[in-house]
A and B are shown apart, each in its own frame.
Chain A
Amino acid sequence: MVEMVSRPYERAFEKHALANPEVLCISADLTSSCEIDKFRDNHPDQFLSMGMAEQNMMSFCGGLGLAGYRPFIHTFGVFTYRRPYDQLMASIAYPRRKVRIMGFLPGITTPGGMTHQAIEDISVMRSMPNMTILETGDATEVESICEAADSIDGPVYCRVLRGSMPRLFDTPIKVGEMRELSLGNDVLIVTAGITTEEAMRATKALEAAGVSVRHLHLHTIKPFNAEAILDHINAVKGGVITLENHVTEGGIGSLVAEVMADNGVGKKLRRLGLKDTYAHGGSRAYLMRYYGLDALALTQGVEDLLGQKLGISEADLAEARVDAVHSLAKAEGL
Chain B
Amino acid sequence: MWNIAVKNERTTEDIALGIRRRVFEHAMRNNGGYLSQACSSAEQLAWLYNEELILGAPTLPMIPKPFGGVPHADNPDYHTGAGYNGPFEPEFDRLFIAPAHYALVAYATLIETGRMAAEGLEMFNKDGSSVEMIGAEHSPGMEVHNGTLGIGLSTAAGLAWARKRKGEKGRVWVYMSDGEVQEGQTWEAIQCCAHHRIDNVKAIMDVNRQQCDGAMDSVMEVGDIKTKMENFGAVVVEVDAHNVNDMREAAKTKHDGKPLIILANSNPFHAMPILEERFPRLHYVRFKSEEERARMNISIAESLGVDPIDYAH
Contact = CB atoms under 8 A, between A and B. Distances in A.
A176 interface: no
Contacts of A130: 71-73
A86 interface: yes
Contacts of B155: 59-60, 62-63, 66, 91
A67 B166 contact: yes
Nearest to A129: B72
Given A55-B150, A55-B154, A87-B185, A66 B161 contact: no
A64 B159 contact: yes
A128 B189 CA distance: 25
Given A48-B196, A59-B158, A67-B166, A95 B72 contact: no
Interface residues of B, number: 33
Contact of B145 (A68, A95, A153): A95
Interface of B: 70-73, 80, 137, 144-146, 148, 150-152, 154-163, 166, 172, 184-185, 188-189, 191-192, 195-196
7 closest residue pairs by CB, A with B: A63-B158, A67-B162, A59-B154, A56-B188, A60-B158, A63-B159, A53-B188
Interface of A: 48-51, 53, 55-56, 58-69, 86-87, 90-91, 94-96, 129-130, 153-154
* SS of B interface (majority): helix
Contact of B151 (A49, A59, A68): A59
Contact of A55 (B152, B156, B188): B188
A56 B137 contact: no
A90 B148 contact: yes
Contacts of B192: 50-51, 53, 56, 60
29 contacts: A48-B161, A51-B192, A51-B195, A56-B154, A56-B157, A56-B192, A59-B155, A60-B158, A63-B158, A63-B159, A63-B160, A66-B144, A66-B162, A67-B159, A67-B166, A68-B162, A69-B162, A87-B151, A87-B185, A90-B145, A90-B148, A94-B145, A95-B144, A95-B145, A96-B72, A129-B72, A130-B71, A130-B73, A153-B73
Contacts of B150: 55
Contacts of B185: 55-56, 59, 87
A320 B162 CA distance: 52
A156 to B, nearest CB: 13
Contacts of B152: 59
Contacts, number: 105
A290 B194 CA distance: 47
A66 B156 CA distance: 10
A94 B163 contact: no
A68 B162 CA distance: 8
A62 B160 CA distance: 11
B184 A55 contact: yes
Nearest to A60: B158
Contacts of B73: 96, 130, 153-154
A22 B72 CA distance: 23
Contacts of B72: 96, 129-130
A127 B137 CA distance: 21
A70 B137 CA distance: 21
Contacts of B151: 55, 59, 62, 86-87, 90-91
Nearest to A58: B154
A282 B34 CA distance: 54
Most buried by A among B80, B158, B159: B158
A130 B145 CA distance: 15
B161 A94 contact: no
A48 B165 CA distance: 12
Nearest to B137: A95
Contacts of A62: 144, 151, 154-155, 158
Contacts of B163: 67
Nearest to B70: A94
A61 B195 CA distance: 16
A244 to B, nearest CB: 26
A94 B143 CA distance: 13
A64 B155 CA distance: 8
Contacts of B148: 86, 90
Nearest to A53: B188
A49 B196 CA distance: 9
Most buried by A among B73, B160, B184, B189: B73
Given A91-B155, A94-B137, A95-B145, A63 B70 contact: no
Nearest to B198: A60
Contacts of A60: 154-155, 157-158, 161, 189, 192
